[in-house]
Structure 1
């Protein structure tokens, strides 16, 4: 399947197109220059003034699951009230 990298990267920073072009130009047994690729996104991250917050999807999900185990809906009146409200909204569909 052939798709141009410009189409795939449309609307995104040029670093994404550079990444795709670099990767698509690699030969099968050629080792990527990981330092170069990492630097591309590190510079973009800095250019966009993002702050590294050390929050990851998997840690946030783990924290949510731990909270739900510690405070189940049947023992937490606030969560129980929200569940009843959501449950009644579902009946209207």
Structure 2
């Protein structure tokens, strides 16, 4: 699924949740602490999804990094005349 499809699916689920909380509120009354907490949590989820939609809409789609071609031709050995072989020490000395 695409990002848009996923966000739309979440929006539908939140709408269903919101309607269910509304029906539950009518049955239980809206004065209880528990139902107010559930309503507040549902509101927070709606706000969070709205922020996520804004972020998803403004972010650029992820692109694959550009590939860099490395030539198979050998490097010029004069580039390394003044350096040691890493981990092996200098060419004219023995390892300890």
TM-score interval w.r.t. the shorter chain? Answer: under 0.3
Q: Which has the higher contact order (CA 8 A, sep 6+)?
A: 2
TM-score normalised by structure 2 residue count: 0.22
More helix by share: 1
TM-score normalised by structure 1 residue count: 0.23
Return the index of the structure with the highest Cα Rg: 2
